[in-house]
Structures are given as structure tokens and as C-alpha cells.
């Protein structure tokens, strides 16, 4: 997609919410800020807004660039822009950095108004419900009483589900990609290893590392390397790297021998220099906690009873983090309630990360669904 | 299986090899020691010996106990003993701790005869070929010119494959369980994350931590937690732990919330106190390097050309570390050479760890194969 279909130069904005928010953990936030961006224009009926929720390491910068010299566009630039599947000529698209995030929203690095110091370890554990509650405040502030759609992949998809449960009157369509109704034990296990790598890094200092001027890089890079393996499929790693070695012969030492090792180490180093460890921990915790059935106390079908939105669910065959089987659990519970749902299982080799790729078959389905949303208005 | 079918009280022995061994990495070991155990009696024809090779964290203590107060028997006690599938009334069974190991064989903790200090970081990187070469010395010392069988699971299975390639005249049967002809990029990736967790632990000190009186426990426990996830299947983790939480309600803090988290942390702590980090690194490196095709320079079928042994290959349906698909690659290459091979794919939920369990269907197949070995003599 050429740059001419870009939303162009964009600016990050801050929404200061003065309404207090009681978090799931019990902590009361008297006020907080959310960093957000918008693309396209809200129409006069205010019925063309699509909220895009981000995943673990994402943020509110979905599309466009901050300046002409900006090296990379927003993370979902392939999807969002004029004449792109999520067409900003027609939709008013909103990206928001989640509470607890590291990209401008109130989070562990922010100044705690009570202490005038960074929250650090004291920043509360946040949940997906806390996020949708705070996103709802932003939506109201923007003058939107009902969203045309909430879209998200992975952890973002879980937010779209939560929106449709929590605010049935305020969301017309939920587009849930590469997500699951909750984490499996294996999912939680991977998150816990990542967290343990971070919290046992001596620089973590129980989360109060800002004041010491250090970063738990060692732990963060391990967390990211591990995460990266789960985002890719065995197959795509085999195709990309296989057993390719860096030198002509084995070196027989502790250095990296295989290209896959270098790749992972590079990804780990990059991430550790960019992402905040306290935020990383909170994002993984939010994933762990998400469970609309509340530990199977209610069936998913029963939880979905009051939903009024239509759904598009997309999964990818090689995604072993949130496999198609998990998406089908959502589809089943929606069908049980006679809720309109379209489901697409895309044959893709890239694993969980496929949701970020610009595969034509995948983007065409999204494009068609967004068109239907316009026609149904 | 009751204690009466046990091999009883056993004793670990040391084989001092005075023949030098040139390792794959180029280092010459002038002499070395191998810790080993034997069960049953070598018959007068010396044709009833079965060598059992261990996996990553295993050792030479396969069966029996060191004393009557010994809490646990050897790691494959369910399989090996009088009237057990590998019947020590009939077979002479040998367990050996691999070179570089941490259970009595020459390894990183051993004294380097040149410096009179622990090898530490200077202990060479060893390969599966180095292990089979050294095991061959032990076999000769025990008066065996041809093994009735070499048996191993996982990394142990790779040693059985290597034996049949390297010493075609010296092995009649290779029993290869839950193994693969080499590691995939994903397999190597998991190993590398584990290694990075260890080498970036400040206590690791590039491998020279013995003299400092510290252990890189932080890294080792992460490595083990991660390994553990890959040994189990998503399914069995779901059945055992699911989303069970430790307390009645979520605590919303950095402590472990879910039972799977506690389990992994426990396993990690236990291992970090018991296993040597330098050995762990070398075992994972040996796994990475194993590749009889030498980076696909030769087809596996071509590599197997000179093999004279018969094979039993066993895989487990839920093993995603070394999936049945990988076992079938071995079967295919054997069939290409008209080599006798029996293959069993066991429906099992336990993942890679299934090879250590005493499932009747699995042990019956092994028992039948061992019986056939006796009859074919």
C-alpha cells in the first residue's frame, strides 16, 4: 500500500479524565489520563466511530507518522487509512493507550498525585474491565454515544468482547481477531515465566527501579524472547530460519550459533530498551485475569445473553497461542444466543503474529465486514 | 509395580578412561571419568547388554535405590527391574552419566588436571558423538563387543540413533523414544532463551561461579520453568491446573494467583538448587548440534545407509517438543534403506514427558520388543 493511502502526519493527544474510576483491584483512581489518536472524521450522526484496542506491547499509535522523518508508521497502518480496509474516509478511528501503559496514558512511570513521585510498584494491577471502563469515558468525551465497532487482535480482541458484555447498548459490532475467551493454563504459564524473568532481575527492585536509574533489561529481554517464540509458529520459524548457522562451521562455544538465536537476542535487546517492565507485567496480568465466566461460575453462553452487537471473529490456523479452537468457543457461545456472528479461519503460516500482517485474504474479510457496517447503518 | 520387582540397592561406579578422546570441538581430553550403574548380569556370551542413555536432566541412576532410606528410586525404575519390561533377569542394563554431566562423570565441576581447579567455563562443549564415543569406551571396558540394544528417550533417543550410525557393528537394536532427527528452529529457540536466562544471571560469571561460591539460581529456575512448559501438553496442563486459583478470589498483586504458576515456580526452585548450570548449558547445546545430515548436506536416508541395527521408534500424540511427525522422518529414512523398524504412536495426553510415565500400552510395546530381542539372539 503506497504512502498516498496513509492518514499522513498524526498527533498524539491526551484525554484528562476527571471522573474517578474504581478499579477491579479496589484502588480508586481519582483522575487519570489516556493517550489517544484519531483518524478520519466523526460524522454528524456520530455513528461512524471505530475504537481499536491494542495488544500486549501495542499502543494508541495505529496509523500515520509523527513527522515526515518518522521511520515507521503506526502499528496497524496496513489496515487503517483512506481506502484501506478500515477506511478513514468513512470511519472515525480511535486508538487509545491502555491505562497502565507506557505510551502516554497514566501508568507506572507516571507521577502519583499523592506522593508526587512515580507510581512504580504502587501502580495498581489493571484489568480489561478497567480498560473498557476508561475507554468508555474517552468515547463519551469525544461525543460518541454508540460505537460502530470495537476492533482488536489478541488482548485487543478480548477488550472488544468485554465492550460487548459491559456496554451492550454502546457497541454495534465487535471484531475479535486471534483472541480467546480466556487464557489456558499453558498461556498463563508462559506469562508467568516472563514475569518471573523480570521480577527476579535484581534491577527490578520490586518495581521501584525508576528512582534508581536502572532498568530490568536482563529480565525484559528474556520475557520478550520467550513471547516472540509463542507469537510465531514452528512452521514459519522453520521456513525463515530452519537450522541456518551464522558462520560456516559450528563455533562450539557459548556464542549464538544459529540464526534463530541471533534473531531472538536482537528482538529481546530491542524490546528491553524500549518497553517498561512494570507495564509489561500489568499487561500480562490483565491477560491472565480476563475470564468473563469468572472461573466457570457462569457458562460463556450465559455471560453473552445481554450482548446486542454483531460479531466478526477471525482466527489463524497456525496460531497456537490462541488457536482457532478458542475462537470457536466464542462463536459457539454467540450462536447459543442467536447473536449475528461471522467467522473466518485464515490458513496462515505466521502463527499468532498473523493478525498484524497484511495478508489480502484476511484484510479483504475485514474490509467487507466494515463495508457491511456502513451499509447497515 | 511393587518394590519386590526392584533391582534393589544399587551402587554408582566410576569408569576411569585412560584413552584420550578428541572432542568434536577440537579439545583433546587425555583422560576422563564416567559414572555408571549396571543392573542384571552380563551373560557368558556377552550378548544381553542394553545401554540406556539419559536426557537433558537425567543421569546414570536408572533403577533401584542407593539405600533403604532413599526417598526415590532411579528415574526409569518403572521400566527396569526383574520381570519389568526391560527385565534385569534377562538383560544386563547399563546407565551412564554423560560427559559434561553433573552426576559423577567428568564435567564442568570436575578438577581440570592441568590447572588443579574446577573446569568451570573452560569445560569444552560436548556433542552427542562425543558421548557415544565415550560410552563405547565404557562398553569395551565392560567386555561387551556388541550391544543388544541402546535405548533412550528425547536426547537419549538421539544417542541411540548416533550409536547405530557411528558403530553399526556394535549395536543390534536402537530403541528411540520421543526423539527427532534434529532440533527445529523452535526447539533451538526455547533452548536459547533458557541459556540466555542462565548466562545473563549475574551469578553465572561466564561459567566460573564455583570459585565464587554462588549459583546462577535465578537463571536456572527460569530455564527450568520454561523447559517444563515444553515437556507438558497444553491439554494436560489444562486438565491438571486449568484456571484454578490459589485463593478464593484474585489478589491483584505480583504474587502467583494461579495454581499453574505455583507449580512452575516450585519446579524451578527445586531444579535450581539441584542442577549445575554449566551442565545444563552443555546439554542444551548438544541437543542443538545434533544433526546427522550435517545441515542437510546429506539426506537422512543417505546417512542411514550403513546402519545394521533394527529399530523401535515410539512417539506420543501430544508431544509438541518432538512430535510424531519428527519420529516419522526417522522411520521414513530407515524404510528407505530397508532397515527393520517398528513404529508406535501412543495416544497420550502428557506431552513430551509421556516417555517417562509408566503407561501400560507404552510399556507393553517396549516389553514385547525386548522379548523379541531375546528370541532373535
Please tell me the predicted confidence (pLDDT) of residue A2: 45
pTM over 0.95: yes
Please tell me the predicted confidence (pLDDT) of residue A4: 76
Out of A192, A221, A250, the one facing B289 most closely (by C-beta) is A250
Size of interface A-B (CB pairs under 8 A): 155
Query: With an 8 Å Cβ cutoff, are B182 and A243 in contact?
Result: yes
Query: With an 8 Å Cβ cutoff, are B261 and A188 in contact?
Result: yes
How many Cα atoms are found within 13 Å in the side-chain-facing hemisphere of B212?
13
To the nearest whole Å, the CA of B361 is away from the closest chain A CA by 27
Length of chain A: 377
State how far the Cα of B199 lies from the Cα of B212, in Å rounded to an integer.
15
To the nearest whole Å, the CA of B107 is away from the closest chain A CA by 15
In chain B, the residue whose alpha carbon lies closest to the alpha carbon of A286 is B252
State how far the Cα of B154 lies from the Cα of B172, in Å rounded to an integer.
20
State how far the Cα of B215 lies from the Cα of B135, in Å rounded to an integer.
29
- Check if A103 is active-site: no
Query: With an 8 Å Cβ cutoff, are B234 and A182 in contact?
Result: no
Q: Which three cell numbers stand for residue A303?
A: 455471560
State how far the Cα of A355 lies from the Cα of A318, in Å rounded to an integer.
11
Q: Are B242 and A186 in contact (CB under 8 A)?
A: no
Q: Does B122 touch chain A (CB under 8 A)?
A: no
Active-site residue list of B: 154, 319, 352
What residues of chain A lie within 8 A of the CB of B296, using their CB?
A: 243
Short-list A183, A165, A172, CA closest to A51:
A172
Chain-centre distance of CA A233, in angstroms? 19
Query: With an 8 Å Cβ cutoff, are B265 and A226 in contact?
Result: no
- CA separation (Å) from A11 to A1, A74, A376, B331? 22, 11, 31, 59
In chain A, the residue whose alpha carbon lies closest to the alpha carbon of B200 is A218
Please tell me the predicted confidence (pLDDT) of residue B1: 41
ipTM of the complex model:
0.96
Out of A188, A268, A281, the one facing B258 most closely (by C-beta) is A188
Residue from A186, A219, A227 whose CB has the most chain B CBs within 10 Å, to mutate: A186
Please tell me the predicted confidence (pLDDT) of residue B181: 98
Q: Which three cell numbers stand for residue A296?
A: 466457570
Please tell me the predicted confidence (pLDDT) of residue B4: 76
Please tell me the predicted confidence (pLDDT) of residue A1: 41
What residues of chain A lie within 8 A of the CB of B193, using their CB?
A: 222, 225-226, 229, 264
Element of type H or E holding A160: helix A155-166
Query: With an 8 Å Cβ cutoff, are B225 and A195 in contact?
Result: no
State how far the Cα of A1 lies from the Cα of B185, in Å rounded to an integer.
31
Short-list B56, B38, B31, CA closest to B110:
B31
Query: With an 8 Å Cβ cutoff, are B252 and A25 in contact?
Result: yes
Weakly modelled stretches of chain A, pLDDT under 50: 1-2
Out of A189, A261, A268, the one facing B188 most closely (by C-beta) is A261
State how far the Cα of A49 lies from the Cα of B86, in Å rounded to an integer.
69
Out of B184, B193, B261, the one facing A238 most closely (by C-beta) is B184
- What B335-342 contacts at long range (C-beta under 8 Å, 24+ apart), as own/partner pairs, is B336/B301, B336/B304, B337/B301, B337/B304, B337/B305, B337/B307, B339/B304, B339/B307, B339/B309, B339/B310, B339/B311, B340/B310, B340/B311, B341/B310, B341/B311, B341/B312, B341/B313, B342/B311, B342/B312, B342/B313, B342/B369
Q: Does B203 touch chain A (CB under 8 A)?
A: no
Query: With an 8 Å Cβ cutoff, are B261 and A192 in contact?
Result: yes
Q: Does A353 touch chain B (CB under 8 A)?
A: no
Degrees to nearest 5, angle at CA B85 with B83 and B88: 50
Weakly modelled stretches of chain B, pLDDT under 50: 1-2
What residues of chain A lie within 8 A of the CB of B245, using their CB?
A: 295
Q: Does B226 touch chain A (CB under 8 A)?
A: yes
To the nearest whole Å, the CA of B192 is away from the closest chain A CA by 6
Amino acid at each position: 500500500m503506497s504512502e498516498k493511502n496513509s492518514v499522513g502526519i498524526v498527533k498524539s493527544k491526551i484525554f484528562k479524565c476527571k471522573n474517578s474510576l474504581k478499579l477491579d483491584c479496589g484502588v480508586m483512581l481519582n483522575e487519570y489520563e489516556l493517550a489517544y489518536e484519531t483518524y478520519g472524521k466523526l460524522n454528524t450522526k456520530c455513528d461512524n466511530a471505530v475504537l481499536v484496542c491494542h495488544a500486549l506491547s501495542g499502543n494508541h499509535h495505529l496509523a500515520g507518522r509523527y513527522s515526515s522523518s518518522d521511520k515507521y508508521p503506526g502499528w496497524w497502518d496496513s489496515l487503517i487509512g483512506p481506502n484501506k480496509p478500515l477506511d478513514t474516509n468513512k470511519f472515525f478511528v480511535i486508538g487509545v493507550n491502555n491505562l497502565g501503559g507506557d505510551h502516554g496514558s497514566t501508568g507506572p512511570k507516571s507521577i502519583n498525585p499523592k506522593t508526587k513521585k512515580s507510581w512504580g510498584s504502587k501502580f495498581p494491577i489493571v484489568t480489561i474491565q478497567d480498560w473498557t471502563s476508561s475507554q468508555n469515558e474517552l468515547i463519551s468525551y469525544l461525543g460518541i454515544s454508540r460505537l460502530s465497532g470495537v476492533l482488536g487482535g489478541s488482548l485487543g480482541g478480548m477488550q472488544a468482547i468485554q465492550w460487548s458484555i459491559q456496554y451492550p447498548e454502546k457497541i454495534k459490532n465487535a471484531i475479535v481477531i486471534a483472541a480467546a475467551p480466556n487464557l489456558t493454563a499453558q498461556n498463563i504459564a508462559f506469562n508467568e515465566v516472563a514475569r518471573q524473568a523480570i521480577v527476579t532481575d535484581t534491577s527490578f527492585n520490586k518495581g521501584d527501579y525508576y528512582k534508581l536509574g536502572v532498568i530490568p533489561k536482563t529480565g525484559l529481554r528474556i520475557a520478550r524472547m520467550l513471547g516472540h517464540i509463542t507469537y510465531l509458529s514452528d512452521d514459519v520459524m522453520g521456513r525463515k530460519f530452519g537450522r541456518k548457522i551464522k558462520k560456516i562451521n559450528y563455533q562450539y562455544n557459548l556464542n549464538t550459533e544459529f540464526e534463530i538465536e541471533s534473531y531472538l537476542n536482537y528482538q529481546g535487546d530491542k524490546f528491553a530498551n524500549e518497553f517498561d517492565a512494570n507495564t509489561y507485567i500489568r499487561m500480562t496480568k490483565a491477560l491472565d485475569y480476563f475470564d468473563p465466566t469468572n472461573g466457570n461460575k457462569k457458562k460463556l453462553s450465559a455471560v453473552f445473553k445481554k450482548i446486542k452487537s454483531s460479531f466478526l471473529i477471525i482466527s489463524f490456523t497456525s496460531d497456537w497461542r490462541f488457536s482457532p479452537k478458542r475462537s470457536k468457543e466464542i462463536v459457539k457461545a454467540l450462536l447459543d444466543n442467536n447473536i449475528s456472528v461471522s467467522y473466518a479461519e485464515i490458513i496462515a503460516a505466521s502463527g499468532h503474529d498473523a493478525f498484524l500482517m497484511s495478508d489480502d485474504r484476511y484484510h479483504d474479510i475485514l474490509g467487507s465486514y466494515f463495508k457491511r457496517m456502513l451499509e447497515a447503518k
